[in-house]
Amino acid sequence: MTLEEARQIIRTGSSSLPQQVEAAAFLTSSKQSELGDLIRCLRLRGLPAETAATALYTRTGRPYSGRISDFSADAAEWLQYLARQLEVAAS
């Protein structure tokens, strides 16, 4: 799978679950993927979203307590978190 193929699968969201999982795994392991790619994975929900959320925690250094109740795979919540981080960095 190429980066563009993975992005296309995630963008359309109409692929099978195994294809979405494979694309999410590719994007999370690719150094060339962008945060936007991972946010798109979150919108798919399920395993693709959980895979992307794990990568987002790692890439952004966001603290995680290890408790499942603190784990976020919600695209809107991640966008808010990233916006707050940009505000902090800009000040």
Show pLDDT as tens, one digit a residue, over the chain (91 residues).
Answer: 999 999 999 999 789 999 999 999 999 999 999 999 999 999 999 999 999 999 999 999 999 998 999 999 999 999 999 999 998 888 8
Cα separation, 52 vs 89, whole angstroms: 23
Task: Compute how many other C-beta atoms are within 10 angstroms of the C-beta atom of residue 20.
Answer: 24
pTM: 0.89
Q: In this predicted structure, what is the pLDDT of residue 18? A: 96
Parent domain of 76: 3-90
Looking at residue 66, the DSSP 8-state letter turns out to be S
Question: What's the domain count of the chain?
Answer: 1
